Every structure is written in structure tokens, then in C-alpha cells.
Structure 1
């Protein structure tokens, strides 16, 4: 237990790496191997051109819900600001919530240029993207709670709009935050906060978690009301060298902000990532061949207060990862 919340363990369905049918098979297997949740990325374009994929998250979640019975599923994350009007997101997730009550989460973020600019969208500065995100969340929640909504915001508007098929239980919204402003917003208005691992303990302990708690306090909420979801990048295998090599596909994650600023083309992103040595590509992952060492490093995040760990494995053999994690890692973590 962390606070009054039980720990949950999820599987990150990497839509950038696998096609829709293959990825669906892995989502089903995650449930079979004891994972509590499955979260899918929402990309128009992947990080790599060769071998990359980008199945649409919304129909994929519908298929996953039909093929499973227990797991919670959601986006990590979708941007309800550019490719999707917030009202369309409200309609889609209301439908998912009605089909699969209590099993759907809408995870949102301020977006990435590589997913929006290819559609001819002018990519604004972070300040505007953050303002758009706040307004989008407000509009989505308003549409879920009211009928015939006249909404006049800075960026979005509706005229007598109604979501006709609302679920009995409102779909929870989680907000992704890599910096204090979005994290503080999650604490104020969201049911969960999403961030990623591998950025150094100081950032979480000294900056992000205090920002989350500040937001919770400002809204006069209880700490247990906000799920703390961390995407944990892991590469576990009985062969340590193989575990390290598996990280090469996700080399873009190891690029510094300066190295990838302004890069929206998967071909160019792939070129930059492929130039990195395996030591760099592995640096964002917990790479291990030992159960005790692997789980000890994961527990460091639990000790920081994270309540929902969603594991992202980089290798092509996801069936092997799911089996090893289900047999060796999840039982050790739960014990």
C-alpha cells in the first residue's frame, strides 16, 4: 500500500513499435499474466521510420476492451488540442466508458510536434499548449456533466453541444506532467498524474512531487484522490547483454532536448537515435538480468510515492517480456 491506495502494475502498449493486431495480442496477454492495466500511446507518427508503427489509439482501445474482462485501460497520453477537438474526445471516451464501465482512463498531455505538425498545424510555444490543455480538460468535463453546452473559450467553442451517451460513472482524467506546472494542474483537477522514469531522483523528490502536492493542497483534496502513475522503462532478461541491446529501438528517448529540438521527421529522429552507442540508449531504462536487483530499483519509485507503475519494455519479443514479468517480477513486487 502507498497511503490508502493499493499498488497497481500496468503494461505500456507501445503503438510506436507494433502494429494494431500484434499490439492487441500483447494487451490481452498482459491481462493473462496478471497486469492490472494497459496504457497505449497515441501517435500519428512513430519515433522511427523503419519498423515503426502508429495504430490509432481510440479504435484500438475499443478492441482491447472487447478482448479483455478485467484490466483498466487508457491513453498515455492523448493530446485533446490539435488533431482532436476536445468535444470529439469527450464523445469517444464517454462511449468507451459506457461500453467498459470502470475500466477506462483518459490520459492527456500537451503534445509533441511530430504528431501534429505533419497535418499543417502551426506548433505553438509551451505556454499556449499548456493553456490549450487546461481549457480542453475543462470543456471535456463540462460536456460530460451538462447538456446543450454553449462554451466560449480562448481556443475552443461549442454551440448547444450534447454528449448523448454518457457513462453512469464519469471517466477519470489523468494529466501528464514532466514539469511543475502540468504536475501542479494534475494535483488540482485530475484523478491521476502521469510521468516517466529515468530522470534522476532529485527531479521527482525536489520538484515534481512537491508540485503535485501543492496542487492537491490548493484544491483542498485528499492525497489519496490522485493516482501517481509512472511509466517505468525496463529491460529485463536473463541475458544482460541482450537486455541492453533491446533498448536500441528506443534510442530517441536518450537524446537530449537540444539534440532533438525541432525534429519532427521520423526518418531524421531515427538517424539521430541510431548514431548513439548502446550505453546511451540503455541509460533511460532499468536494464537487468537479476530479479532482486531489478525489483530493488523499481521499489525506489514506490518509496517516492508512486502508486501505479506502468512498465515499458523496449524489446521486439513482448511475449517473452510479459511471461518473465508475470512469472518473476510482478510476484516479487507484490510480495
Structure 2
């Protein structure tokens, strides 16, 4: 049985609102909730970027059964991997075992803020690989010293470690990243419904792991309002990984997406009140072999109405697939 999730989009909502949405999403029946981890929104019109880990600590206390997950945290620059190991262990305890640590190699948008530049993709992948090793070691609760190519850890120990550890998911985009991370992670994260990606992962890791995807939607009773909102806040989405990982500022994303038309956005993001159209977009992920799909309802405006009016019938439609 597939699981369907709700996205706590830190780029488009404030921290108090996100906690309230998390509570409501659990009430209406979402199986899990994922949170982005941004220092900066993609576009200034989104207007938010609260600290994801602080917010998730509150979510862990405000909810009781829904799984929670970072989607995704970069443990190489803005956060040292030892700090991520400590944060994730604490959050797993606070959530009573409901947390999954989702990791990725990051975006320039969020990581350049510490003033250390932005490495080439091959370096970022190698840094992530080393960071995962460190996190795994620290989650044993043992005293760790590490001298690696990119990180040092000096006599560190996580004193409060969950008994069953912290499940770890990693964002991958192709065979090379699967080869690098397949043995290090419990679950896969990907943002495009590529069947070959899933089959390659299963060949490396086994079919029992979770494959977690994400799809933006813009539900609204007024289809044009849904398209306009998606264009205003999500027109950056069509740039793809190669662009979105490298641009450094919201001004850069605004410039890169200035010629994207509302119809272009409507062609890639399901917009409007038609739940069957939204379900068709989600079905692409199911058909590709994903086990978990998180929905991103675009925009803070209308988020409560989506949760109150559309979420439950949409979940029923998706589960009927």
C-alpha cells in the first residue's frame, strides 16, 4: 500500500502556520509529513524561511502518529554532519520513533550563505558520502574521532541516541549517485517519476526499501486562481536539478524564470479543483515504482482551505488508485 504525505513548505509559510498545518494534515489522514530545509525562499514572493529543525521539534510535540521527515537536509556546509547527527537523534526521541532523516547534497541557494563558496557537483557528492558515514558512526552512541578528506570530528559522542536508530533516506538522481549511496541509505528520495531510477535502486539495495517522491499541486476551486498562484510562487520549479542546485539567490531564480508563462506552469503542475487531474500526476510516481509520494500544495494562501475541503477526498481518490 502506497503512503501519501503532506509537505511543510518552509519557503512559503511561517513557523506557527507550519505547525498548525502539520496538526491538520495528521487529522485529515496524511501518512507522513516532509519538511524542506531552507535558509532562503526560491522567490521573494514566497516570503519565508524559518528554521526547519526548530519547527519539526514543535511538530513532533503537536502530532502523535504521523511520520515526519526532512526533505531534504544538506549535512555538509550550513550544518556540520556531527550537528545533523545530534539534531536527528534528538528529533527521533521527541517524535518517539516517527522521524526519517532525509539527506541531499544541497543547493547553492541555501549553502552559500556561510561564505565558503559552492563546490562542483562531484565534490558535493563526495562530501555527502563522507557526512553520511560520520552520521552513521555517531548514531551508534560511541565516542568518535574522524579524520576525513572534508570533515574532522574530534572525540564526539551523541549522548541521547534513540534505541532503534534513525532511518536515513538520500536524494539520488542517477546510476552514479545510486552506486555511491545505495549501501549507505535505507531509503531513496527522488523528485522525478523515473522507473529506471527505481529499478536501479532496487537492484542495488533490494526491493524492500521505501522510494519517496514529491509532486507540487495547486488546488483551488477557481482553476485560474490556482494557475496564477502556481506561476507566482512556483515558476522556478521547471528549471530542473542542474539549474535549481546552482543558482545562488531568489533574484537569480526570478531572472531565470522571467519568461515562464502561466500556461507553462499549468502544463507541469496540476492546477485547479479537479482531483482526478491531480491523481493522474501522482499516478506517474506510483507507476514508476514509488512507495511514498508527498504533495506540495503551492502557496500559503489557501493552505487551510485545501486541508479542510480537498485533502480528505483527494486522499480517498489517491488510495483508490
Indicate the residue corresponding to 2:268 in structure 1: 284
Superposition deviation, residue 213 in structure 1: 2.3
Instruction: Note the alpha carbon deviations across 1:261-318, whole angstroms, 9 max, x for none.
Output: 8531212322433442102223331235323343233223212211111001113211
Tell me the equivalent position of 2:73: 78
Q: Is the 8 A contact 1:184 1:213 kept in 2?
A: no
Match of 2:13 in 1: 18
Q: Secondary structure at the match of 1:286?
A: coil
Q: 1:183-202 maps to which residues of 2 (within 5 A)? A: 183-197=178-192
Does structure 1 retain, via aligned residues, the 8 Å contact 2:189–2:212? yes
Whether the aligned pair in 2 keeps the contact of 1:20 and 1:55 (CA below 8 Å) is yes
Q: Give the corresponding residue for 1:4.
A: none
For 2:144 and 2:116, the matched residues in 1 are separated by: 27
Q: Does 267-276 or 247-256 show the bigger shift?
A: 267-276
Distance 1:18 1:313 in 2: 11
Query: Who is 2:210 aligned against?
Result: 227
Unaligned 5+ runs, structure 1: 2-6, 217-221
Q: Which residue of 1 aligns with 2:309?
A: 324
Distance (whole Å) between structure 2 residues aligned to residue 181 and residue 37 of structure 1: 29
1:301 counterpart residue number: 285
CA contact (8 A) 1:186 1:193 kept: no
* C-alpha deviation, 1:91, in angstroms: 0.7
CA contact (8 A) 2:109 2:245 kept: no
CA gap 1:327/1:260 in 2 versus in 1, 3 angstroms: closer
> Contact 2:270 / 2:277 at 8 angstroms: preserved in 1?
no
TM-score normalised by L of structure 2 = 0.92
Report if aligned partners of 1:14, 1:312 keep a CA contact under 8 Å in 2. Answer: yes
Which segment is superposed worse, 95-104 or 322-331?
322-331
User: Is the Cα–Cα contact under 8 Å of residues 47 and 269 in structure 1 kept in the other structure?
Assistant: yes
Counterpart of 2:183 in 1: which secondary structure?
helix
Q: Distance in 2 between the 1:262 and 1:303 partners?
A: 30
Structure 2 unpaired stretches of 5+ = none
| C-alpha distance in structure 2 between counterparts of 1:176 and 1:328, whole Å | 30
Residue range with higher mean Cα deviation, 102-111 or 177-186: 177-186
1:310 partner SS: strand
> In terms of mean alpha carbon deviation, does 62-71 or 283-292 score higher?
283-292
RMSD: 2.0
1:163-184: CA deviation from partner (whole Å, max 9, x where unpaired): 1100111111110123332244
Is the CA contact 1:187–1:213 (under 8 Å) kept in the aligned structure 2? no
Query: Aligned match of 1:30 in 22, 25, 31?
Result: 25
Whole-Å separation in 2 of the counterparts to 1:257 and 1:133: 17
Q: Which residue of 2 aligns with 1:113?
A: 108
Aligned residues: 318
Measured at CA, do residues 103 and 257 of structure 1 come closer, stay the same or move farther in structure 2, by a change above 3 Å? closer
Partner Cα separation in structure 2 for residue 160 and residue 34 of structure 1: 44
> Does residue 1:41 correspond to 2:36, yes or no?
yes
Mean CA deviation greater in 106-115 or 285-294: 285-294
Partner of 1:166: 161
Distance in 2 of aligned mates of 1:235 and 1:175: 26
1:132 is paired with a residue whose SS is helix
Provide the rounded CA distance (Å) in 1 between the counterparts of 2:292 and 2:58. 23
2:62 alignment partner, one of 63, 67, 71: 67
Tell me the residue number matched to 1:334. Answer: 319
Q: 1:210: which partner in 2?
A: 199
